[in-house]
Structure 1
Amino acid sequence: MLDRLNAQLVRLQTQPFYRGRLPERVASEAEFAQRVPLMSRADLSAEMARPGFGAFAPHVPAVRINLSPMGNALVPVMQSAADLRAMEAACARHLDACGIGPGDVCMVTFGYHLFVAGLFYQSQMEARGVACIPHGPGETERAADVARRCGMTVLAGNPSHALKLIEAGCPVPRVFFAGGEAFTGNEALYARVRAAMPDTLLIDSFSLSECLPVARTFPGGSGVHLFDELLYAEVIDPDSGLPVAEGERGELVLTHLQKELQPLVRYRTGDLTVMQRAAPIHGRTVSLPRVVFGRVDSMVKVKGVKLYPSELKAVLLGIDGAKQLRLVISHKVSGGDHVALQVEGNLDADGLGQLAARFKRQTLISADVIEAVEQLDGSDAVIDQRSTQPS
């Protein structure tokens, strides 16, 4: 990996955005983190808003331009012919691992209009000799009929929509590529898909429009495994910007290793994740075992642990009857933080116990009190009363 990082540093010495910002080489990954500055989505968005895309003006022709929502703008994401071939080659290794190739028929039910997922799946399948049905989302009855008539064997799309397709008579695929919503991180949804597709190879995936692809489930692995021929991944403390230890929660940071157009270096994704290294799975040793489970937002420190309000949505996934979760933090009379969980919904004692256990597993914080309420007032996920209490 160090050789790949240094090769990219050499290539980017004359790239206008990075000229004068990057060392020519580093002796270790730790030095890379120390000497190479972080980059934000705001940096990318601002540069792409300049005439001709500013310092990211294409030096070779772009052959595909998708749009990615960033704040209030749709930011162009450009691919050169070499960029597409590199993505297709990386995905080909994954398709080989999944036993997908000529003779398979893939229906793509991701969207195509402006955004990236539909065409991304179509192009990688076609490059591997797989017949592709570019259906797009919606029109469930028609899609199920087309899948039957065309002998679909591979399905790529949103898990919730895939369940509707199966209910409408769509053949059960041999392989299902899930995206667009939490999948392996949503135990209830994953169980429903597994029940509907008992013998199907289920593939979870994580990508960003500007970093594509990032990681996927590989047969025999756990979590999603990084496409490390395309990307170098780090996890940092969102507050300090420093790398965290393996297995600790933090913000995912990505570096392109060979991209020609819009190469990103130490790019802050804003996504919360955990990274670990394990024995090789189809040659891959880096995985995100819980994929991503929240966004970096207004962090609060509770019982000495950093907590991000968006994590609370991940806690609720798969718990029937739970609609909204709120954390109320106050001071204990004896000192320290008092943590109360309020959940909107009709949960019995078992459901509340499951929620408390999930909250502790996700955040490493034990709740002092947990209660179900008929309706929560307002939309705040976290209410911190400590500043209004005497210390």
Structure 2
Amino acid sequence: MPWNEEFECMPVEQRQKFQLEKLKETVAWAYDRIPFYKNKLDEKGVKPDDIRSLEDVSKLPVTVKTDLRDNYPFGLCAVPMKDVVRVHASSGTTGKPITGPYTREDMDHWAECMARNLWAAGIRPDDIVQNAYGYGLFTGGMGFHEGATRIGCSVVPTSSGQTQRQITLLQDFKTDAFLSTPSYALTLAERAEDMGVNLRELPLRVGVFGAEPWTPAMRKEVEERMGIKAMEAFGLTELGGPGVSFDCEAQDGLHINEDYYLAEVVDPETFEPLPIGEKGELIFTSLQRKAMPMLRYRTKDITRLRRETCSCGRTLLKMDKLSGRTDDMLIISGVNIFPSQIESLLLEIPEVEPQYVLVVRKKGYLDHLTVRVEAKKEIYDAGPEKEAEIEKKIADHVKGMLGITARIRLVEPKLIERSEGKAKRIIDERPKE
């Protein structure tokens, strides 16, 4: 049974009436309280009263990441700071950080969304939950903490890093559930192997992973190496953090918390909505957020939406696992390539580890791709001839499946920097324009 059966299993028409009511309230709230949105709506000639159906969301302006940076720190905040009880922010590694203020009501809603996420993963009140997401300004640590606390779990707030200690605590505390980024889960599994610790023999049974893209092949790798069920969480700092969508035991798409988020898939060039079932860019409008409501926020994530009743009983709209992002797409020899596609192919090669980086350089007028991937120890120890054989095998596989020529370079085990948070998969060495 879902955490909140009323909303998660609500008849679609009834939920859409609820969404329309909240959409109208959100547009009016943003128009009246945030000058940025008032100006954007006025420019389009749209007033809050013009929103009469869910389809009218397409009349609203699109919000992009630069809008949030341009209004740093609190230009998009709809409430006075005396009503803000928490502020989170992105890392800001590519410019000013994205700030996320929360009212007490926002915090309550966030905990509700995260409780649904963790409950769907099979986490229950008597579980010991080890939270290895980063605490601090990053939304992950505190978001998962709030959800696990709402359920009533015993939360171990380890935060990210100190991998050997994490493994010791998994053993000593008899942890039931582990929370982290998927790349850190692999880092932990690798360290456990080095320590001679068999994670599969521990009480650990489930992990909830998110904050970065990961393929079905990586999910399988995590499950096999840790001996757990690997579940997914999806969210964005701009929308309040994790808790936007989640998968259930069926692992067949991510359920969107529709009473909190109105989802669209649009043509990334025109922003025109696409029919359910067509692949495009994912856009969200928040429906109950008070401190910083978002109107049609561009995620730049590529997916498709599905309207179906899941075998778990939930009637929430589903989104497919992300297939890439419009802003990390590479064009190699005229072919559009996403890092996730390369990852899937590498995970089909038994001679390499799931640790890689993609290096993009300019060669003439074209982008040139080098894939650095760690060889298994026995392959690396076998010498240059064996390495060359595997490099050709991978290059042929990439060429055959994606139609591009990539230089493959096997590197020694443990050479690629391990992640304690989000993994860095692309090194862009192209000259800046």
TM range (shorter): 0.7 to 0.9
CA distance in 1, matches of 2:79, 2:277: 38
1:140 counterpart letter in structure 2: T
Q: Which has the higher strand share?
A: 1
Cα distance change on mapping 1:352 and 1:197 into 2, 3 Å: same
1:179 counterpart letter in structure 2: G
Shift of 1:67: 1.4
Q: Name structure 1 gaps, 5 residues minimum.
A: 331-338, 360-366, 382-391
Q: State the match for 1:207 in structure 2.
A: 235
Cα distance change on mapping 1:290 and 1:350 into 2, 3 Å: farther
Identity percentage of aligned residues: 20
2:232 counterpart letter in structure 1: D
Aligned to 1:191, the other structure's residue is in SS state helix
Aligned to 2:309, the other structure's residue is in SS state strand
Contact 2:33 2:79 in 1 (8 A): no
2:222 counterpart letter in structure 1: V
CA distance in 1, matches of 2:87, 2:96: 15
Q: State the match for 2:394 in structure 1.
A: 351
Cα distance change on mapping 1:357 and 1:232 into 2, 3 Å: farther
1:94 counterpart letter in structure 2: N
2:99 counterpart letter in structure 1: P
1:16 aligns with 2:42: no
Contact 2:283 2:299 in 1 (8 A): yes
Q: Name structure 2 gaps, 5 residues minimum.
A: 1-15, 42-46, 373-387, 411-427
Cα distance change on mapping 1:106 and 1:248 into 2, 3 Å: same
Aligned to 2:307, the other structure's residue is in SS state strand
Shift of 1:11: 4.2
Deviations 1:87-135 (A, max 9, x none): 2222223333333222111001111132111111112111211000001
Q: Which has the higher helix share?
A: 2
CA distance in 2, matches of 1:254, 1:46: 20
1:253 aligns with 2:277: no
1:26 aligns with 2:51: yes
One of 37, 48, 59 as aligned partner of 2:61: 37
1:152 aligns with 2:182: no
Q: TM-score, normalised by structure 2?
A: 0.70
Q: State the match for 1:163 in structure 2.
A: 189
Contact 2:121 2:231 in 1 (8 A): no
Cα distance change on mapping 1:250 and 1:329 into 2, 3 Å: farther
1:315 aligns with 2:345: no
Shift of 1:191: 2.8
Cα distance change on mapping 1:298 and 1:81 into 2, 3 Å: same
Contact 2:130 2:156 in 1 (8 A): yes
Cα distance change on mapping 1:163 and 1:238 into 2, 3 Å: same
One of 98, 107, 111 as aligned partner of 2:121: 98
One of 124, 140, 152 as aligned partner of 2:147: 124
2:294 counterpart letter in structure 1: L
Number of residue pairs aligned between Structure 1 and Structure 2: 353
Q: State the match for 1:7 in structure 2.
A: 22
Contact 1:316 1:325 in 2 (8 A): no
2:54 counterpart letter in structure 1: E
Contact 1:153 1:174 in 2 (8 A): yes
Q: State the match for 2:378 in structure 1.
A: none
1:204 counterpart letter in structure 2: E
CA distance in 2, matches of 1:129, 1:344: 44
CA distance in 2, matches of 1:55, 1:140: 38
CA distance in 2, matches of 1:343, 1:248: 32
2:115 counterpart letter in structure 1: A
1:68 counterpart letter in structure 2: S
Shift of 1:265: 0.9
Shift of 1:278: 2.8
1:223 counterpart letter in structure 2: G
Q: State the match for 2:425 in structure 1.
A: none
Contact 2:179 2:207 in 1 (8 A): yes
Q: State the match for 2:258 in structure 1.
A: 228
Shift of 1:162: 3.6
Cα distance change on mapping 1:160 and 1:78 into 2, 3 Å: same
Contact 2:113 2:147 in 1 (8 A): no
Contact 1:272 1:293 in 2 (8 A): yes
CA distance in 2, matches of 1:350, 1:246: 39
Cα distance change on mapping 1:323 and 1:47 into 2, 3 Å: closer
1:8 counterpart letter in structure 2: L
Cα distance change on mapping 1:56 and 1:105 into 2, 3 Å: same
Cα distance change on mapping 1:352 and 1:248 into 2, 3 Å: farther
Shift of 1:63: 1.4
Cα distance change on mapping 1:295 and 1:163 into 2, 3 Å: farther
One of 73, 77, 82 as aligned partner of 1:56: 77
Deviations 1:332-388 (A, max 9, x none): xxxxxxx999654655665345424653xxxxxxx3x6465669xx8459xxxxxxx
1:4 counterpart letter in structure 2: Q
Contact 2:305 2:320 in 1 (8 A): yes
Shift of 1:41: 1.5
2:162 counterpart letter in structure 1: E
CA distance in 1, matches of 2:65, 2:152: 35
Higher relative contact order (CA 8 A, sep 6+): 2
One of 111, 133, 150 as aligned partner of 1:88: 111
Contact 1:316 1:323 in 2 (8 A): no
Aligned to 2:98, the other structure's residue is in SS state strand
CA distance in 2, matches of 1:113, 1:234: 31
2:224 counterpart letter in structure 1: A
CA distance in 2, matches of 1:327, 1:284: 46
Q: TM-score, normalised by structure 1?
A: 0.77
Cα distance change on mapping 1:81 and 1:344 into 2, 3 Å: closer
Aligned to 1:149, the other structure's residue is in SS state helix
Cα distance change on mapping 1:209 and 1:79 into 2, 3 Å: same
Contact 2:324 2:340 in 1 (8 A): yes
Contact 1:47 1:56 in 2 (8 A): no
Larger mean Cα displacement after TM superposition, 169-178 or 347-356? 347-356
